[in-house]
Amino acid sequence: MHNMGSPSHLKRLAMPRSWPLPRKTNIWVTRARSGAHALERCMPINVVLRDVLGVARSTREVRRILHEGLVKVDGRVVKDNKRGVGLMDVLSVGDDDYRRCVLDTNGKLRYRRISAEEATYKVCRIENKVTVKGGKTQLNLHDGRNILTDSASQYKTGDSLKISLPDQEIIEHIVFGEGTKCYLVGGVHIGSMSSVTSYIVKRSSMPNEVEFDGFGTIARNVFAIGDNELPGVEVKA
């Protein structure tokens, strides 16, 4: 009988190009459970621990490590081995191994070491905002989390929030605009940082454009980061 594959697995040939794994056609990899991050911006914890970091040799070992409560994402213990770990997330294994998920200049997801202090926060992009009951505004962030605020006009789509982990307090509001240092998460310059020289808002349905020193891209490829550092990410200009 022809094996169409299970919904929880992907043929390696079909996995996102952002996954830094060899494309052997005879091996199945875990599909991240749908949820917070888009599939191409995250990898399931099973694959990260086993195939990328090599802290476990099998899915069974991964399950044991998770069962012992040794793994946290964004400061919270994770027990689900299909939980996606995606862009800007903080992954900690044990007491002294902290990593942040970033994209390298080839667009591959990397889990780079950071300090214990850096593991206490993350930067999230505001994807959109909606008014909810009671007149509050809900900010929907790139990693699937939502934050309620009374300051509707203060926060705009494309801005970023630096939040504390795991309690989600807003530490800093990073306004997207001219002069803002940004991280490029798509396009030719993916995986590098540069400062905005101008922002062009289109009236039509065309995507808004962002100009940097010597190149331009569309707004969805741009992630405002401000003065915050990312591990192993070069500043272009």
The answer to whether 146 and 140 are in contact (CB under 8 A) is yes
Statement: the pTM of the whole predicted model exceeds 0.75: yes
Q: Which residue has the higher pLDDT, 14 or 127?
A: 127
Tens of pLDDT, residue by residue over 228-237, are: 999 999 887 5
The 10s digit of each residue's pLDDT in 65-93 is 999 999 999 999 999 999 999 999 999 99
For residue 73, give the nearest of 56, 93, 57 by alpha carbon: 93
Q: Which residue from 134, 121, 119, 140 is spatially nearest to 36, judged by alpha carbons?
A: 140
- The answer to whether the CB of 122 falls within 8 A of the CB of 89 is yes
Strand partners of residue 233: none
Residues contacting 227, CB < 8 A, separation 6+: 181
Query: DSSP string of 38-55?
Result: -GGGEEEHHHIIIIIS-S
pLDDT value for 235:
81
Give the separation between CA 154 and CA 1, rounded to whole angstroms: 58
Which of 195, 193, 196, 184 has the alpha carbon at shortest distance from 234?
Answer: 193
pLDDT at 48 exceeding the cut of 50: yes
| CB 191 within 8 Å of CB 104 | yes
CA 152 to chain centre: 25
Question: 176 near 169, Cβ under 8 Å?
Answer: no
Residues composing the chain: 237
**Span between the terminal Cα atoms of the chain, in Å:** 56
Residue bearing tokens 């043929």: 11
Task: Kindly report the average pLDDT of the chain as a whole number.
Answer: 88
Contact 218, 205 (CB under 8 A): no
- Distance (Å, rounded) from C-alpha 66 to C-alpha 94? 10
